[in-house]
Amino acid sequence: MTTTDKRREILHSALKLIALNGFQGAPTALIASRANVGAGTIYCYFESKDVLIQTLYEELEIRMLAALTKGYPGTQPLRERFIHVGKSFVRYCLAVPMDFRFLEQFHNSPHGAAYRRDRILGGKDQDIIHELFEKAQKEQLIKDLPKMILMNLFFGPLLCVVRDHVLGFATLDEPTIDRTVDACWDAIRR
């Protein structure tokens, strides 16, 4: 087993434990043993448990953004772009439920709040999705509300619906996903 394998095993085992049991239910000793690695090995690769978690978060966020961007219909009408992003978001989350649960745990923790504060107050929020909302607003296709509210109107329900599915409270099939994303568009369109 190479050095990189161990690092990957540690990240994977941490992801799984945190997704299933929360930060509480993922002691370093358990992360190590599930990764078939000594307790100290974690600290060869990561300065602290916090750094491990932060690293994991950043990797998952990059993968998520890539999934939303993949196949992005940049030339089609804006409405189609919103629908694409919404569906991609739901499908990606359902495809990697562990990643989704981890991201949720992270967001609802002191880590998450701090991270978000940095991003928003640091003006670092600038990606394809922010662009999309700004353009649609300029073209008066969507309601005249603060961008953050529009984003919550669109993604808020999707987040809730995916959570309910992943936790086993509901079941999402393809047609239901499509119609839910359409409903989110109804919320923001003029």
Partner DNA sequence: CTACATTGACTGAGCAATCAGTCAGTCTGG
Partner DNA sequence: CCAGACTGACTGATTGCTCAGTCAATGTAG
Residues at the contact surface with a copy of itself, assessed by CB under 8 A: 21-22, 24-25, 104-105, 108-110, 113, 116-117, 120, 143, 145-146, 148-149, 152-153, 155-161, 164, 167-170, 176, 179-180, 183-184, 186-189
Q: Which C-beta is closer to DNA: that of 47 or that of 174?
A: 47
27 contact choice in DNA, a copy of itself, none (CB below 5 to 8 Å, kind-dependent): DNA
Q: Which C-beta is closer to a copy of itself: that of 40 or that of 110?
A: 110
188 contact choice in DNA, a copy of itself, none (CB below 5 to 8 Å, kind-dependent): a copy of itself
Instruction: Give the burial class of 172: count Cβ atoms within 10 A of its Cβ; 0-12 exposed, 13-18 middle, 19 or more buried.
Output: middle
Shortest distance, position 14 Cβ to DNA, whole Å? 10
131 contact choice in a copy of itself, DNA, none (CB below 5 to 8 Å, kind-dependent): none
Q: Which C-beta is closer to a copy of itself: that of 76 or that of 108?
A: 108
Q: How far does Cα 30 stand from its chain's mean position?
A: 25
55 contact choice in a copy of itself, DNA, none (CB below 5 to 8 Å, kind-dependent): none
Q: What residues line the site for DNA (CB under 7 A)?
A: 1, 3, 6, 26-29, 36-41, 43-45, 48-50
Shortest distance, position 129 Cβ to a copy of itself, whole Å? 15
